[in-house]
Amino acid sequence: MKKKIGLLVLLLVVLGGGGYGVKAYVESMNHITTDDARIDGALVKVSPEIAGRVTEVRIKEGDTVEAGETLARLDEKNTSLTSRDSALVKAPAAGMILKEFVTVGENVAPGQRVFLLANMDELYVSARIDETKIERVVVGDTVSLHVDAFPNVELKGVVEQIGLAADSTYSLLPTSNASGNFIKVTQRIPIKIKILDNQGLRLLPGMNTTVDITTRG
């Protein structure tokens, strides 16, 4: 009798384990999870049109500005009356000043980055998916998002864009096989995920995020 009970218990354990294995397999086929993801946004570099000495800075980091708003002023001594406007450093787009790279009295040049801004209302998630799984991801897939800074909050998103090349393609130092030594490495494809509702959280560019994509099989 004891032997039969033992066999019955063993059978239940095996069946239970098998059921869990099937469930885990189905989950793995319908979900792709990665923690190689972070909050991102369109970062806009602000540069002066002419060279000159900074005589005034009108904003500080954290300020919200409108497109065309004057952020700084350069010395106008060497500019003509018709080009005085070029001595003004203006915001090319609306957004929040994330970083200030200039101080009053500093000499700047055209194209030099003096401010960095981003529209904090249009942040998204950039994630990287293994090339062996990317074919299962399509635009429109729903995504569960967990930002490390807010571990108890689940945000919802949707896959908005899938990259057309692996990250390594854009590397400043692309890998090559000139030496004859080759180690195959799984490549990662970037995807862009739209955040459907930030639930009032203070999301910042660069915050680490874990994404769980619900695929269609």
Are 131 and 62 members of one domain?
Answer: no
Are 180 and 80 members of one domain?
Answer: no
| 156 domain-assigned | yes
| 25 domain-assigned | no
Q: What is the pLDDT of residue 24?
A: 47
Are 133 and 200 members of one domain?
Answer: yes
Instruction: Single out the residue in 95, 113, 131 at which a domain terminates.
Output: 113
| 131 domain-assigned | yes
Are 35 and 61 members of one domain?
Answer: no
Are 54 and 82 members of one domain?
Answer: yes
Are 139 and 179 members of one domain?
Answer: yes
Neighbours of 42 (CB within 10 A): 13
CATH number at residue 132: 2.40.30.170
| 63 domain-assigned | yes
Are 89 and 58 members of one domain?
Answer: yes
Range of the structural domain that residue 188 is part of: 31-40+123-214
Q: What is the pLDDT of residue 59?
A: 96
Which pTM was predicted?
0.78
Q: What is the pLDDT of residue 16?
A: 60
89 CA to centre of own chain = 28
CATH number at residue 81: 2.40.50.100
Q: What is the pLDDT of residue 5?
A: 61
Domain count, the chain: 2
Q: Taking CA 124 as the corner, what is the angle to CA 118 and CA 127, rounded to the nearest 5 degrees?
A: 125
| 188 domain-assigned | yes
Q: What is the mean pLDDT of each run of 10 residues along the chain (217 residues)?
A: 58 55 56 96 95 95 96 82 82 96 95 96 96 95 97 96 88 61 86 96 96 89
Give the per-residue SS3 of 156-173.
EEEEEEECCCCHHHHCCC
| 12 domain-assigned | no
Neighbours of 69 (CB within 10 A): 14
Q: What is the pLDDT of residue 179?
A: 61
Instruction: Single out the residue in 113, 137, 157 at which a domain terminates.
Output: 113
What is the Cα–Cα distance from 189 to 168, expressed in whole angstroms?
9
| 7 domain-assigned | no
